[in-house]
Amino acid sequence: MAETMLDPKARLRQKILGLKIRQARTEAGLTLKEVGQAIGSSAELVSEIEFGQREVGLPQLEVMALLFNVPITYFWSDEPVETSERNLPTVEAIALRQRIIGVLLRQARTEAGRSQENLADLLNVPASRIAEYELGEAEIPFLELETLANNLNVPIDYFIDQGLPFSETNGHMSMDELARLSELPKEVREFLANPANLLYINIAMRLSDLSAETLRSLAEGLLEVTY
């Protein structure tokens, strides 16, 4: 991940975030190597994140939340948490999340009437960096994403995978919903019933909310990566 200049307040928040990551990892009984393997990085990089020496992106925080069995909000709140068993997404799903976050950023920027130069000035980075963020070519450090969300007047939840746990209350399907589910083809029901596919399902749900123009932009970006 590209290094950026942080002001003293942001640097302090980065160190606090690192401490919370380390605390959750320790309580989960996991090693730096295990966390690194889950997010596709080295143990050394995870150590740097925990000591506040390296920035971390939202996709990595989402995986850590699943890995440590804590709500994603754990990383920026003081709320007590309870743990439960969850399934981790694949490295490919993490990469797709990065691209989707970029698309959401572009959509929020456009709706707010801001230019890439405006956001670049806000973060004190080149405009080309914002372009890389929006194309999913560079990971957005979480603290930068938080700053952008505030400037664009959208909650940080706007970017977060809606399949992650935010609280300890989980809804249950009604009888009508179960009936509709039973009408789906067998292979679809089997796919939906597999907890390992949860992230892909939530990605599809998020994509269905995007405009046609935004979806075309995402598709073009994916084709550039594929070919």
* Residue-range domains of the chain with CATH: 8-76 (1.10.260.40), 91-163+199-226 (1.10.260.40)
> Measured in whole angstroms, how far is the alpha carbon of residue 210 from the centre of its chain?
17
SS percent in the chain: helix, strand, coil, step 5: 65, 0, 35
Confidence of residue 222 (pLDDT cuts 50, 70, 90): low
Distance in angstroms (rounded) separating the CA atoms of residues 143 and 12: 11
pLDDT, one tens digit per residue, over 169-179 is: 334 343 344 44
The stretch 188-216 carries a mean pLDDT of 67
Closest CA to 153 of 114, 121, 185, 117: 114
Distance in angstroms (rounded) separating the CA atoms of residues 138 and 192: 31
Average pLDDT, the chain: 77
Does the pLDDT of residue 203 top 50, yes or no? yes
Closest CA to 72 of 161, 4, 148, 155: 161
**DSSP per residue, 9-74:** HHHHHHHHHHHHHHHHHHHTT--HHHHHHHHTS-HHHHHHHHTTSS--BHHHHHHHHHHHT--GGG
Which residues are bridge partners to 141 per DSSP?
57
Distance in angstroms (rounded) separating the CA atoms of residues 82 and 117: 42
Distance in angstroms (rounded) separating the CA atoms of residues 212 and 76: 33
pLDDT of residue 175: 38
Distance in angstroms (rounded) separating the CA atoms of residues 36 and 46: 6
SS3 category, 141: strand
Does the pLDDT of residue 50 top 70, yes or no? yes
pLDDT, one tens digit per residue, over 186-195 is: 776 666 656 5
The stretch 197-223 carries a mean pLDDT of 68
pLDDT of residue 216: 72
Distance in angstroms (rounded) separating the CA atoms of residues 73 and 217: 30
